[in-house]
Amino acid sequence: MSTAREGDGGSGASGGAAGPDVDDAVRTLLLLMPRMVGRVKRIRIPDELRSLTLAPRHLSLLAYLLFDGPLGVNELAARLEVAPATVSLMVGDLAKQGVLERTEDPADRRRKIVSIADAHRPAIDGWLGRSAGAWRAALGPLSQAERRMFVETLAAYERGLADYDA
């Protein structure tokens, strides 16, 4: 990693009007990410959900159901980028514990619609809503193009990390 060089428009993490150079931005993010992860991990899981063994994939499933409403298993699988059988197992586990409900689709009785059980909705909303509120505050002042670039950048970072898993 290099430090800001004379005449490059960047000076430390602040970087001047043009913003930080790539190395300064990387340095800042490498310091910021552990703090962010630490804060997210400290978000208290609601008491009624604490006994459940919730993995990150469960949180993603709950977030889709919370923000987008009831969805079919195949639609959840497509959004989560996993097999429908995987979603069926997750839904079955959470339904047994009363967190999720499965109902027949009135238009196609073979299709099941998954939703958050009313008894758990306030706890899940309060829990995931804190993160959503922080993201709204951070993203709200940005233009639509800036938000798209930010989301695409985070997705590219995640893909880059996945390359190291192989």
Residue 143 within a domain: no
Whether residue 65 sits in one domain with residue 34: no
**What pLDDT score was predicted for residue 62?**
94
Residue 155 within a domain: no
Whether residue 70 sits in one domain with residue 35: no
Whether residue 108 sits in one domain with residue 77: yes
Query: Of the candidates 95, 97, 96, 115, which has an alpha carbon nearest to the alpha carbon of residue 105?
Result: 115
**What pLDDT score was predicted for residue 17?**
64
Q: In the predicted model, what is the mean pLDDT of residues 25-40?
A: 89
Structure letter (DSSP) for residue 5? P
Whether residue 32 sits in one domain with residue 9: yes
Percentages helix, strand, coil for the chain (3-state, rounded to 5) are: 60, 10, 30
Model confidence, pTM: 0.72
**What pLDDT score was predicted for residue 130?**
84
Residue 142 within a domain: no
Q: How many domains is the chain built from?
A: 2
Query: Tokens 């703090």 correspond to what residue?
Result: 35
CATH classification at residue 66:
1.10.10.10
Q: Residues 83-103: pLDDT tens digits?
A: 999 999 999 989 998 999 999
What are the E-state strand segments in 5-152? Answer: 71-72, 100-105, 108-116
Domain that holds residue 98: 53-120
Which residues neighbour 118 within 8 Å (Cβ) at sequence distance 6 or greater? none
Whether residue 91 sits in one domain with residue 60: yes
Whether residue 112 sits in one domain with residue 77: yes
